Amino acid sequence: MLSSRLFFTAIMLFWISFLSLLALVVTYAPQGGVELAGLTLFAGSGLVDAALAAMQCIGFSPVTSSVVFGIMAGFNIAAAGLALFAMLFSVLGQELEQRQARPLAEGAAACAAGSTVLIVAVSLAGGQAGALLVLQLAALGGLLLTVMSFTPPVNETGSAADGGVSALDDVIADHAASHAAFSAQLASMSRRGAST
């Protein structure tokens, strides 16, 4: 149990870092980078050249291209945030939070899928596939594999049919208990009525 949680944590940390850096690349590389503490980061636009060429082939204006890159960055940073919370819930949470970790990880994969669909559509429409498309597909594939490898808490490891049967057993037991209580009250009232 502990080793699977540590594995999940390590993998999620990798994908959080990967998605965050990918969001920074698609935000700043088309603009020539960003200067921070005397260093110019994300200045080489080699990762986004094919995407920019595809957008120019389609006829996107520079503003439209910036909006597309902004949407991609938004999806990637949302995926990184959801992956962060999934990791925290899985590692630090109680059983209820651990159960909610998988839907959060699935949400992260869905956000990555949104960004991937956008770059695939632009790349196919513009006839240019490049490094950004490959990186985005790698992020989506990695998150999907991570979600598939996610193990639920110990109490959830039974099959869905077992959970359904135990829930049905609980309903039947509650129903039988309420009928037994009603029958006992009815028998008590009839005894009191017979003795008077």
The verdict on 91 and 132 lying in the same domain is yes
Q: Which residue has the tokens 């193990």?
A: 151
Local confidence band at 194 (pLDDT 50, 70, 90 cut-offs):
low
Inter-residue contact 116 to 101 (CB < 8 Å) = no
Per-residue pLDDT tens digits for 154-190: 554 445 445 556 777 777 887 777 777 777 777 777 7
Between 180 and 106, name the one with better pLDDT: 106
Give SS3 for 194: helix
The verdict on 119 and 93 lying in the same domain is yes
Q: pLDDT at position 109, please?
A: 93
Q: pLDDT at position 136, please?
A: 93
Between 134 and 157, name the one with better pLDDT: 134
Stretch among 25-34, 51-60, 115-124, 151-160 having the lowest mean pLDDT: 151-160
Q: Which of 109, 115, 83 is nearest to 9 (CA)?
A: 83
The verdict on 108 and 183 lying in the same domain is no
Between 22 and 171, name the one with better pLDDT: 22
The verdict on 136 and 186 lying in the same domain is no
Q: Which residue has the tokens 């094919």?
A: 50
Percent of the chain exceeding pLDDT 90 equals 35
Per-residue pLDDT tens digits for 46-76: 888 889 899 999 999 999 999 999 999 999 9
- Tell me what the mean pLDDT of segment 144-156 comes to: 72
Query: Tokens representing 124?
Result: 């196919």
Q: pLDDT at position 173, please?
A: 80
Residue 62 belongs to domain spanning:
2-157
Q: Looking at the 3D structure of the chain, how many domains does it have? A: 2
The verdict on 86 and 119 lying in the same domain is yes
Q: pLDDT at position 40, please?
A: 82
Q: pLDDT at position 98, please?
A: 82
The verdict on 108 and 186 lying in the same domain is no
How far is it, in rounded angstroms, from Cα 82 to Cα 144?
Answer: 13
Q: Mean pLDDT across the chain, nearest whole number?
A: 84
Q: pLDDT at position 37, please?
A: 87
The verdict on 81 and 28 lying in the same domain is yes
Inter-residue contact 22 to 76 (CB < 8 Å) = yes
